[in-house]
Structure 1
């Protein structure tokens, strides 16, 4: 074959290859976090962004788009360009919980997103007043059954993970309690400390602070392993309680239709980020267990979690919004 023909074929082959295979990323990436700045998810997300920027050799711009329980930020990414330059770092609240609780979402959690990676699992803690004489989950269950309808629990609002974790707990143990939704967790903790609530659930990183501040006692954690910072507190399973949804998750998504090569490039970089000693130490501090894996692993995790929460919502008769 003549040299000119070989050159023509080579150029044709190069033109047929997608540009992103060599060029991505060639400019800054926006990482949308649908929660307010300053919270534990924000701290975690910014650490991920910093290390991802180093891995990809491009700036990662963190964009906090809070509001509507995370739906505003997630919706923006769902409608974003499918080029890998706008990503979502969120939790089960904008996907599994949203799908279970809302009938009119501004996006389809399954069809409008391409799962990139499961960053980690987050757990909650069962809290009671620090002044209570109760010392174990079994004692709490017995006391609540004795009080019958006089029990109450608090949360930061209807449909939050704290609310549904409590519903899950009541279904598993057979106890009854009235839900008291607040406009923030701090208000609920104040009433818990004063003995006006029987119990509540909250993220373990926040719960540790309440315990150390003398506001609450932690009886158990929902995850598969104990907290690094409070190793004497048992898991729910160790306490004999089988929850339907013991752990939430954190992950990264791209808009559906993002090229597979970009999703895999991001997945590989984020799996490496999860091995960084600094990220490992921060996740341990925030009570987040690193996961990682393939995009398919994450898709399966989200689907299974969504199914479980739908069942929990139906069993607890939580009204759809």
Structure 2
């Protein structure tokens, strides 16, 4: 037997009221939790092995943020598959602010173009916190190379299409795609030689096995100081403090060319905005600290500190940029 119409109406009203109360209480609970944040250790996931640029920057941030927040920030290295394993882990973590990724240009903007079955979507699954810094690629040659400038490289590449070669730390990484972007913009043809890691790439230039490379400042630092390699140009809009005499690519003749190995802090989408804002504030506070800035200068990282909205816009632009390069070059990792 069906209940009377008045009873059904009352029941619907009660259910509707409960749903509305729940909807109103959810943001309030999130705000209350954000106000107490953090109440337990924060895990900063580094999707690469210890010792690289991302790891160095991540440990600097973790230490300084922990001191400022009077909290524990634990670095958790989760390497593998060009950083995509660590990124996927964070994408699927609870959106509570206690799992943060420090992703790089590869796993956050190049991977969508390289993998047709990527298990996460950087634009859909993450809430950017801050573009922490950029490590511009540096056009580098060995000490015995006859190439003395960007103009020399382009002229040599035009004279012998496909003869000049460049190393990378692996197919699909910043060194590889940075060189492909150069080839496209300079309208030349060059050959790619992938190595297993950054160190062998530098060794190949020193030994004369490769002709030029787009490598990060931290990668070439020791060999550059020893005079074993030469830096011809920096792929950024400004010169590096650690290389004040090395021109930008625009200054050297290739207008508008930029290629950075950048680092982006992000949390799973759905993380309460007050927590995102708190994390951003702490990163912005940590970057200008003298000990942090000195270390970043020494490894060729330019601190950025973009806010969440600007960082999200930057990420969309980079995904589109590198997807276009990858498609034009016909590169895939599937």
1:283 partnered with 2:296: yes
Match of 2:260 in 1: 247
Q: 1:319 to 1:66 in 2, by over 3 A?
A: closer
Task: Give 1:307's match in structure 2, choosing from 292, 312, 320.
Answer: 320
The TM-score normalised by the length of structure 1 is 0.91
Match of 1:292 in 2: 305
1:117 partnered with 2:140: no
Aligned ranges 1:36-51 → 2 under 5 Å:
36-51=49-64
Match of 1:23 in 2: 36
Q: Matched residues in 1 for 2:188 and 2:34: separation?
A: 56
1:144 partnered with 2:135: no
The CA deviation at 1:188 is 2.6
Q: Matched residues in 1 for 2:84 and 2:279: separation?
A: 23
1:177 partnered with 2:181: no
Cα deviation digits, residues 65-107 of structure 1 (max 9, x gap): 1111111111111111111111111211111111121111111
Mapped contact 1:153–1:177 kept (Cα < 8 A)? yes
Aligned ranges 1:89-128 → 2 under 5 Å:
89-128=102-141
Match of 2:45 in 1: 32
Match of 1:217 in 2: 230
The CA deviation at 1:192 is 2.0
Mapped contact 2:169–2:195 kept (Cα < 8 A)? yes
Q: Matched residues in 1 for 2:273 and 2:162: separation?
A: 53
Aligned ranges 1:229-248 → 2 under 5 Å:
229-242=242-255, 245-248=258-261
Q: Matched residues in 1 for 2:243 and 2:279: separation?
A: 34
Cα deviation digits, residues 139-171 of structure 1 (max 9, x gap): 121122222332211111110100000001111
Q: 1:52 to 1:147 in 2, by over 3 A?
A: same
The CA deviation at 1:270 is 1.2
Q: Matched residues in 2 for 1:259 and 1:245: separation?
A: 34
Match of 1:267 in 2: 280
Moved over 3 A (4+): 15-18, 242-245
Cα deviation digits, residues 13-43 of structure 1 (max 9, x gap): 9x94543133111111111101111222211
Mapped contact 2:84–2:107 kept (Cα < 8 A)? yes
The CA deviation at 1:268 is 1.2
Mapped contact 1:224–1:246 kept (Cα < 8 A)? no
Report which of the two structures shows the higher radius of gyration computed on alpha carbons.
Answer: 2
Counterpart secondary structure, 2:154: helix
Task: Give 2:99's match in structure 1, choosing from 81, 86, 93.
Answer: 86
Q: Matched residues in 2 for 1:293 and 1:214: separation?
A: 35
Number of matched pairs: 309
Match of 1:54 in 2: 67
Task: Give 1:258's match in structure 2, choosing from 256, 271, 295.
Answer: 271
Q: Which stretch shows the higher mean deviation, 76-85 or 189-198?
A: 189-198
Counterpart secondary structure, 2:134: strand
Counterpart secondary structure, 1:88: strand
Cα deviation digits, residues 283-308 of structure 1 (max 9, x gap): 11121111113211100000001111
The CA deviation at 1:135 is 1.2
Q: Matched residues in 2 for 1:265 and 1:206: separation?
A: 33
Q: 1:134 to 1:22 in 2, by over 3 A?
A: closer
Q: Matched residues in 2 for 1:293 and 1:138: separation?
A: 34
Counterpart secondary structure, 1:19: helix
Counterpart secondary structure, 1:115: strand
Counterpart secondary structure, 1:228: coil
Match of 2:221 in 1: 208
> Unmatched 5+ residue regions in structure 2?
1-23
> Unmatched 5+ residue regions in structure 1?
1-11
The RMSD of aligned alpha carbons is 1.9
The CA deviation at 1:200 is 1.2
Q: 1:267 to 1:149 in 2, by over 3 A?
A: closer
